[in-house]
Structure formats: structure tokens, C-alpha cells
Structure 1
Amino acid sequence: MKMDYKLQVGVQSHLEQMGSLDDRSMHDLDDECLYSPEMDAQKTQSADSHERVSLSGSLAVGGSKMIRNCVYKSIKTVVFSNKLNLLMAFGPLAILVHKMTAHNGWVFFLSLLGITPLAERLGYATEQLAFFTGPTVGGLLNATFGNATELIISIYALKSGMIRVVQLSLLGSILSNMLLVLGCAFFCGGLVYPGKEQVFSKATAVVNSGLLLMAVMGLLFPAVLHYTHTERHAGKSELALSRFSSCVMLLAYASYLVFQLKCQKDLYAPIDEEGSQNGENSDDDDDEAPEISKWESVIWLAIMTAWISILSDYLVDAIEGASEAWNVSIAFISVILLPIIGNAAEHASAIMFAMKDKLDISLGVAIGSSTQISMFGVDAIPFCVVIGWMMGQEMDLNFQLFETATLFITVIVVAFFLQEGTSNYFKGLMLILCYLIVAASFFVHEDRSSTDESKQPQT
């Protein structure tokens, strides 16, 4: 009986174990049905979608934050890095004074102060863009955008029928670049390097001097034709000659660009102290890097140009009122005051490069700007003649006898100082003193043409 009881108990326990195994297997089968491969794929896809949503959201937040940081850094670099930019506040103040009062003298003065840092920052943005375009194209961009302020002021004056102001301001830009800007560059460079004479390429100086003499010839013949009373068609021959000469001068400068950029590239390479040409890959430039990107430079150029255009409109409208309020001739304001403000970029660039012993670039900025104003299209006397032709304004190349003689003597003096291919602080001082003589001459000079022009009713 005991054996039967033990056998019965053993069989029962064995059956219970078998039942528990079956239950476990059933649970395992249920788990396999619940966690099928399709369910795993769905869970994986849902997890991936959640990750993508979170990743795209983080990228959007990070991208907008990055853009804000770039904008803040660009504004900090361009606007807040120079104490001169504090004068930018005078631009809106000039507009406010114009709207609330009729004090043209203050409007003119505040507009001048407001344009000054803009002109300098315009040159800065151009220099940054030159890092991406190379030294040759960069030099042309620097000279072109450096004169953008004069171009904008001239177009607004031409639109207002103030032809004489356009002529005198462009003439003043040439005189300022050749005497004041180049003189300051020579002087500051000579003070930084007092024990040696800085050198520059004589080939560049000779060609630019020749172009300037050609420009003087284009300005001289209409004046001679006027004062000798030898026109075949009175009142028409002088204007026709001016327009024809302007087209020829534009063609001459276009040929010069082809000659400089294509045919004689090595001729205009910078030279070192021993007089040998270094080429464009100088080791001195390795430590320099752009502070803003290429597109930032382009955007800042557009912003500065637009703001200068707005202030130039108020500046031109206030010229005559400022002349009466200050008891100063329009000729002095146009030839001396306007170019000094407009050439702020050239002043800063030329002096900076001269102090770094890169006198070829300083020469290109100063003399190259004068060449562009006198002969080239977008910021030049011939361009304004052609634009006036399109606008119905009879602007010619007759700059009157006093102004033409001043330009002719200035070009001769500068060509004499450049003939040796060297510079020092004494040559710079002589050029600055020559500019003071020119400024004093225009201070005591009364331009009858601008006086009569200001009395004519505006159409």
C-alpha cells in the first residue's frame, strides 16, 4: 500500500510538472504572438520618427540661434568696432532737423558728420571683399567703392540741376586724392619707417600719371574753346566736344583695364625694398584674414550705399543754404568740404597700407581713385557727362579757367614727386602743404557760374 501511495504521489507530481510546463509554453506562445516582427518594425519606425522630429526641432532652434549669433557678430565687427561710427547718429539727427526746422546750415553739417563714418565703413567692407577677389580686382573695387560717396552726391546734385556743384565736387575729389590722401600716406609711412625710403612701382605711377594728363587735356580744350570764342556753332560746339571727349576717355580707361588685368599683369606686381617684384603671393599677407564673410561684405556694401544715398539727398538740398548761412562760397564747399568727407575711405585705407609698408596699394588707392574719377565710368566726370546727357542736363567738360589750371598744376606736381618711385615723410608733407594752398585759393575764389546757377529757378 505504501508503495502504491508513493507511486501515486510521484505520478501526480510528475503530471503537475508537465502541466506547469504546458502553461509556460502557452505563455511563451502568447508572448511571441504579442511581440511579432511587424510590431518590432512599427516600434522602430515610431522611435525613428520621434527622433527625426526632435532632431529637426533642435536643428531649427540651433540654426536660428546660429543666424542670430552671426548677425550680432557682424554688427559688432562692422558697426561697434570703430569709435568713428559714433557719428552715425548724426544722420538721423540731420533728417530730424530738416523736418522740424529750416536751418540748412545745421542740416548740411549734420549730414556731413553722418556720411563720414559711412564712407569709411564702405571702404572697410570693400577691403574685406578684396580678400576673396584677389589683390588686383580688390584694388579696383577699393578705388571704385571708395568713390561711391562722390558718385551718389553728384547724381543727386545733377538731378537737381546743380551742374556746377557736380563739376566742382568731382574736381575736388581728384585734388584731394592726389594731394591730401597721397600726402598723408607718404607722411605717415615715412614716420613709421624713418630710416629708409619706401618704394613703389614706377610703372604704375607713370601709367596713371599719363592717364591723368590725358584727362586734363580733355578738360582743357573745352575751356580753351570757350574762352577764345572760337566755337563754330555758338553754345553747341563746346557741349558736343565735351560729350565726344567723355566717350573717348571712357574708351581709354576701358583699354587701360584690359591692359592692366590681362596683358601686363606682372608689370603691376608690388615690389620690395630692393626694387624686385614680389608678385601677388607675398608672405606679408599671410597673417591677414578677413573679419567678415564675402556675403556679409556684399550686404554691408548695399546697406551703406543705401544710407549714404538717403543722406546725400538732404546734403545736396542744404548746400546753398549752408553757403549763405556760413558766408562761404559754394566752390569752397564743393571742392574742399565734400571731397574730404567722401574720401574718408581713401584716407583710412591709404594711410593704413602705407604704415604697413605696402605703398603700392596706397598709390593704387590714391592715384587710382583720381584716375577713375577723371576718366572711368561709374564714378567719373565722363560718366556724369553721359548721365546728364540722358537726363537732359547740359553738363560739359568746361570746368572754367581757374579750376582747370589748378588741376593741371596739381597733376604736374604729383607726377614730379612720383617719378623716382620712392617716398618719405618730407614728400608727404610737401603734398599736404600744396593741398592747403589749393584750399586757401578756393576759399578766396568766387565762382560766378555757381552763383548764377543757384539763382536760377529749379525746374
Structure 2
Amino acid sequence: MVNRIFLIVVFIGFPLIVIGSLLQFPSILIFGLSCLTIIGLSSFMGRATESLTIVVGPRIGGLLNATFGNAVELIISIFSLKAGLIGVVLASLTGSVIGNLLLVMGLSFFIGGLKFKRQNFNVFDARHNSGLLMFAVIVAFIIPELFSKNMNDSKTITLSIGVSIIMIILYIAALYFKLVTHRGVYNTKESKQNIKHEEPEWGKGKAILILGIATLAVAFTSEKLVHTFHEVGEKFGWSELFIGVIIVAIVGNAAEHASAVLMAFKDKMDVAVEIAVGSTLQISMFVAPILVIVSLFFPISMPLIFTLPEVIAMATSVLLTIVIVNDGESNWFEGATLLAAYFIMGIGFYLL
């Protein structure tokens, strides 16, 4: 029944957005239609991810979900870079980091914890990811911020390029470590117990095809949605920073949000955590560096320099996440704690 509703939403909403962009419907209408359509498309991406997870395992399934989900944000960010909206791009990257760690993981822990008193996930993966999070956000984002104080624009860009290349290399090495050299080495007893023999809703080929089509549709819809932000922001009093950190980040990662919460509700915490943390690592160690390099081909280059509130928000999110996930267990109260931190930051960015 729910899947049928999402199907109807997509088949009505998407054509209306296409027609509305041609006939110039009011921005508020396009905004509402786009949000509903992205939610509908996210359900298809969630079902496709679940099918792939059953076939290829939680790590690769979570990685695929993060990759397809982040492709949307990458596309939106490239269009924004082309338009010279450097601040919005950096703000959306900040929003993705705090959104995945606090909102997505918080919702996953909270919703899953309401159904199950105690949920387990791979503690070794959690600790491995904690080290990468410390590097990606606290080292690679804060160091350029500190060193750039005494540099001119040219040296700042050079520093950003150097940091970006190192981050991309380490990210590829991390994938090789997890998926090749140490695949299955750190499987815990709880992780093995959480693996249930199920029949996937869709085969691997069909699931990948649906993921690809849904990603393209989300990318198109998200682009139309972005064009409404200025008018909607003026109407509701949203600043450019708030739009980048909260609105763009939530819209760009809607598919991952839905998938992670769905997995947690089904007690597949390895996948839920892999989606939330894996997406954060991909954004900070791959997407952000790629955008720095891509920006070199546009009139205005983007340095990997965030504002002080953005850096502090990301660092705080990482530290809180590490403290909560390092025991390999979750419950609804830990989810509520992460959500509370996200809402506090949201209020701060709104007022800022």
C-alpha cells in the first residue's frame, strides 16, 4: 500500500515538475512538488538498496547507496560552482556531514530503538570509521583553515589541492582495505546473527537499473528545487547559509536518509551505520576534494576553507558520533541525543 502511494507520487509529481519548469509554475509550487517527488524516489532507492544488500552484503550495499545518494549532491554542487556559489557549496558539504552523522544516524538509532531495545553493529567497522572521520574532518578540514590565515589566495588554493589529492588517495585505500584485503576479517558474532536469509525484492541487475534511473530523476528534481531556494528563502526568511547547511543537504541526501532509517527499522544496523558514516566519509574524503579540483576549470576556484561555525559544527558532530558508536551498540536514547545536537546546530545556523 505504502509503495503504491510512493509510485503514484512519483508518476504524478515528476511530470508536473517537468511541465512546471517549462511553463514557469510558481516557485512555492515547484518547491512542494519537488520535495514530495524526491521522497517518493527515495523509497525506490531504499528498496533497490535493500535488494542489493541481500545479494552483495551490507558493506557494498551501504557503499552503493551512499555513492548513488552523493551523486545527486555532487551534480547540484557542480552546477552551483559553475554559478560561482562557493559559499552554498561549502555550506551544503557541511550540512551533509552533520546531517548524515546526527540526523540520519540519529533517526536510525531512534526509530530502530523504538522497535528493538538494543541493536548491534560491527564494532570493528565503527572504530575503523572513527579514525577516518577524525582524519577527514578534524585534520583535513581544520588544518587548511588554520594555515590559510597566513597565506594569499594562490597558496590557499595550492594547499587545498594538495590536501584534496591526499584525501582521495586515502579514501581509495580505505575502500581497498575494507572490500579487498580485510573483507570479512572483522565480522563479529552479532553481525553474523543479523544476517537473515531473505529473498531480494529485485534481482541485482534490476536493482542497479532502478537505482540509476531514480538517481537521475532525483538529480533533475533536485536541480529544479535548488532554483526555487532564493524565492522560498525570501518568503520564509531563510539565509543562504541555512539553505546550504540544512535544506540543500537534506534534499541532496534524501535517498540515503530514507534507506538508513528503513534498514534500522528492520534491525539491519550494519547497513544503516554504513550508509550514514560511509556517506559522510565519501562526502568529506571524495566529493569535497573532487569539487575543489573541478572548480579549477571554472572562473572562481573553491578553496577547502570553511567558516569557523561550519568547522566547529562538523568537528563536534564527529566527536559526538565517535563517543556513541564506538561500543557497537545503539538504542533510542542515543538516537535522541544525536537528533538533539542536530536541532541545536540547526537553530544556530538559522539565526546566524
**Alpha-carbon distance in 1 for matches of 2:112, 2:220:** 36
Give a deviation string over 1:373-402, Cα, whole Å, max 9, x none: 1112xxx11111122223454012111111
C-alpha separation in 1, matches of 2:6 and 2:86: 32
TM-score, normalised by the number of residues in structure 1: 0.71
1:103-142 matches, within 5 Å, as 103-142=26-65
Please name the residue that 2:97 is paired with: 174
Uncovered stretches (5+) of structure 1, i.e. residues with no partner: 1-76, 446-459
Change (3 A) 1:316 1:159: farther
Aligned positions, number:
350
For the structure 1 residues 222 and 102, does the alpha-carbon distance in structure 2 shift closer, same or farther, using more than 3 Å as the test? farther
Alignment of 1:229-244 (within 5 A): 230-231=150-151, 234-244=152-162
Matched residue, 1:351: 261
Counterpart of 1:84 in structure 2: which amino acid? F
Shift of 1:141: 1.0
1:213-240 Cα deviation digits (max 9, x unpaired): 11122111222234x3x11xx2111111
Please tell me whether the aligned partners of residues 183 and 432 of structure 1 are also in contact (alpha carbons under 8 angstroms): yes
Contact 2:51 2:204 (8 Å CA) reproduced: yes
CA distances 1:301-329 after superposition (whole Å, capped 9, x unpaired): 33223322322332232322322232211
Residue by residue over 1:236-275, the C-alpha shift from the partner in whole angstroms, topping out at 9 and shown as x without a partner, is 1111111110110001111111111222223442541xxx
Query: What is the rounded CA distance, in whole Å, between the counterparts of 1:238 and 1:138 in structure 2?
Result: 37
Take 1:365 and 1:268, find their aligned partners in 2: how far apart are those partners?
Answer: 18
Instruction: Note the 1:201-280 alignment, pairs <5 A.
Output: 201-216=122-137, 217-226=139-148, 228=149, 230-231=150-151, 234-272=152-190, 278=192
Greater shift in the superposed pair: 350-359 or 173-182: 350-359
CA displacement at 1:411 relative to structure 2: 0.6
CA contact (8 A) 2:59 2:271 kept: no
Residue type of the alignment partner of 2:130: S
Give the corresponding residue for 2:319.
412
Distance 1:422 1:294 in 2: 30
**Corresponding residue of 1:372:** 282
Match of 1:403 in 2: 310
CA shift, 1:175, in A, is: 0.9
1:285 aligns with 2:206: no
Deviation of 1:101 (Å): 4.0
Query: 308, 329, 332: which is aligned to 1:425?
Result: 332
Contact 1:203–1:268 (8 Å) recurs in 2: yes
| One-letter identity of the residue aligned with 2:142 | L
In 2: Cα distance, 1:156 partner to 1:423 partner: 38
Answer yes or no: is 1:193 the counterpart of 2:129: no
1:199 to 1:130, Cα distance in 2 relative to 1, 3 A: closer
Shift of 1:82: 4.2
Relative contact order (C-alpha < 8 Å, sep 6+): which is higher? 2
Distance 2:312 2:195 in 1: 41
Contact 1:198 1:357 (8 Å CA) reproduced? yes
Letter in 1 for 2:69: G
2:110, 2:334 within 8 Å by CA — same for their partners in 1? yes
Q: State the structure with more CA Rg.
A: 1
Runs of 4+ in 1 over 4 A off after TM superposition: none
Shift of 1:350: 2.0
- 1:328 aligned counterpart, secondary structure: coil
Where does residue 230 of structure 2 map in the other structure?
Answer: 320
CA shift, 1:283, in A, is 7.9
Whether 1:152 aligns to 2:75 is yes
For structure 2, which runs of at least 5 residues remain unmatched after alignment? none
1:437 is the counterpart of 2:344: yes
Alpha carbons of structure 1 residues 121 and 152: separation in structure 2 relative to 1, 3 Å:
farther
Are positions 1:87 and 2:5 aligned together? Answer: no
Q: Tell me the alpha carbon deviations over residues 1-38 of structure 1, each in whole angstroms, 9 at most, x when there is no partner.
A: xxxxxxxxxxxxxxxxxxxxxxxxxxxxxxxxxxxxxx
Q: Distance in 1 between matches of 2:189 and 2:85?
A: 44
Contact 2:69–2:255 (Cα < 8 Å) also in 1: yes
Change (3 A) 1:136 1:414: closer
1:333 positional shift: 1.6
Q: 1:211 to 1:305 in 2, by over 3 A?
A: same
Assess, with a 3 A threshold, how the Cα gap between structure 1 residues 193 and 314 changes in structure 2: closer, same or farther: closer
Give the match's secondary structure for 2:295: helix
CA contact (8 A) 1:130 1:139 kept: yes
Structure-1 separation of matches of 2:179 and 2:346? 36
**Whole-Å separation in 2 of the counterparts to 1:238 and 1:339:** 26
* 8 Å Cα contact 1:200-1:271 kept in structure 2: no
For normalisation by structure 2, the TM-score amounts to 0.91
Rounded Cα–Cα distance in structure 1 between residues aligned with 2:305 and 2:314:
12
Give the alignment's Cα RMSD to 1 decimal. Answer: 2.3
Residues 126 and 145 in structure 1, CA contact (< 8 A), matched pair in contact too: no
Query: Per the alignment, in what secondary structure is the counterpart of residue 428 of structure 1?
Result: helix
Q: Residue type matched to 2:196 in 1?
A: D
Aligned mates of 1:161, 1:106 — CA distance in 2: 26
Q: 3-state DSSP class of the match of 1:285?
A: coil
Q: Deviation of residue 90 (structure 1)?
A: 2.9
Does the CA-based 8 Å contact 1:95-1:107 persist in structure 2?
no
Alpha-carbon distance in structure 2 between the residues aligned to 1:152 and 1:362:
24
